[in-house]
A and B are shown apart, each in its own frame.
Chain A
Amino acid sequence: MSGEHSSSFDIKGIWMVFWVLFAITAVEFIIALAIPETFMAKPIKNVIYIALTLLKAFYIVAYFMHLKFERINLIYSILLPTIFVIGVIAALMYESDYWFTLR
């Protein structure tokens, strides 16, 4: 049932995921500190930040937390509620736009 664990848990793979996370964070810093907002507007930067954050979350959950190698049932029972929560956050951000207009 879980004999495949050993193949997905080699030390080389762990360090590779670390370097991926490190590189993504480095890119976030470069965007935050080295690229002026006249060149890249803040809303565009924010979209990139959120995309990179979700990518980092994928690597942590899939490889460090090993979810990618679990049964599909377990993957879905964790992933589907999370997607709904992200939907709620998006809806509230959209809603806050109306509050902004009301003020």
Chain B
Amino acid sequence: MSSQASPSLPTSGKLWDGGNEPFGASYGKLMMWFFLLSDAFTFSALLLAYAALRFSSLSWPVPDDVFAGVPFIHGHFPLVFVGIMTFILIMSSVTMVLAVEAGHRGARNEVVKWMIWTILGGIAFLSCQAWEWTHLHHDGAWWGSNPFANADGTPGQVNFTNLFFTITGFHGFHVFSGVVINIIVTIMTAVGVFDRRGTYETIEKIGLYWHFVDLVWVFVFTFFYLI
């Protein structure tokens, strides 16, 4: 894949002396990795603020009591809905790898098929999040207002809802961007851009981004819903 970009300069045979690819990856793929690393720093900063504020607080709302709603059903089902959301996102990650795998074989129709499944997974996740936000908003939770009492019975900390909406909102925005880029890339695949280009590496690059979004959710899930 990446050997196509290898320059034909004279090389001394040493890895870092030029005329070589020390990272063994194309420019675009390398830059996607570095972008994701910087994006990981941003999310780390948010999770860092969360950890510092939470563990310096005397008490904190209980996640099992806050996140216990499921659409169309009345009752108390802690973690069930967020479990469904986690499953949807992991599934869409799997269909994305399957698209990348099909891209390696140059199977255009298969790439389009798996990309469409990935897009549907992303849209399903965003719909779930929209429902959850609406549900919490109806309970009176929003930036600056927290109706949920702390574990020890004292009035709930505003930090809780502020951090929840900021972090899941920032993640949801990443999912939204991913869905938009996925749609663009799927159209490009369908009209044969990558066949003409001779490589499906673009699918690999957007795949890296999509898995990163899944990865962030794994951390958000642990820190907000479990701990």
CB pair A1–B215 under 8 Å, yes or no, is no
B136 to chain A, nearest CB (A): 19
Closest B residue by C-beta to A99: B56
Could you say which residues of chain A place their CB within 8 Å of the CB of B22? 71, 73
Q: Mark A81-102, 1 if CB is under 8 A from B, else 0.
A: 1100100110011011101100
* 43-76 of chain B: CB within 8 A of chain A: 44, 47-48, 51-58, 64
Q: Mark A33-77, 1 if CB is under 8 A from B, else 0.
A: 100000000000110011011001100110011100011011001
B105 to chain A, nearest CB (A): 9
Q: Mark B70-101, 1 if CB is under 8 A from A, else 0.
A: 00000000110001001100110110111011
Q: Which of the listed residues B22, B24, B53 has the most CB atoms from chain A within 10 Å of its own CB?
A: B24
Closest B residue by C-beta to A93: B51
Report the count of interface residues on B (CB-CB < 8 A).
Answer: 55
B96 to chain A, nearest CB (A): 8
Could you say which residues of chain A place their CB within 8 Å of the CB of B94? 14-15, 18
Knowing A70-B25, A100-B56, the reply to whether A9 touches B47 (Cβ < 8 A) is no
CB pair A96–B55 under 8 Å, yes or no, is yes
- Does B1 sit at the interface, judged by CB under 8 A? yes
* 1-36 of chain B: CB within 8 A of chain A: 1-3, 6, 15, 21-25, 30, 33
A64-B207, A99-B56 given; 20 more Cβ-contact pairs under 8 Å = A1-B1, A1-B21, A1-B24, A5-B1, A6-B104, A14-B94, A14-B97, A28-B222, A29-B79, A29-B83, A32-B64, A49-B222, A50-B227, A73-B15, A74-B30, A81-B37, A88-B48, A99-B52, A100-B55, A100-B57
Can you list 24 pairs linking A and B with CB atoms under 8 Å apart? A6-B104, A15-B94, A32-B78, A33-B78, A49-B222, A49-B226, A50-B222, A53-B218, A56-B218, A61-B215, A65-B211, A66-B204, A70-B23, A70-B24, A71-B25, A73-B22, A74-B30, A77-B33, A78-B37, A81-B37, A85-B40, A92-B51, A96-B54, A103-B56
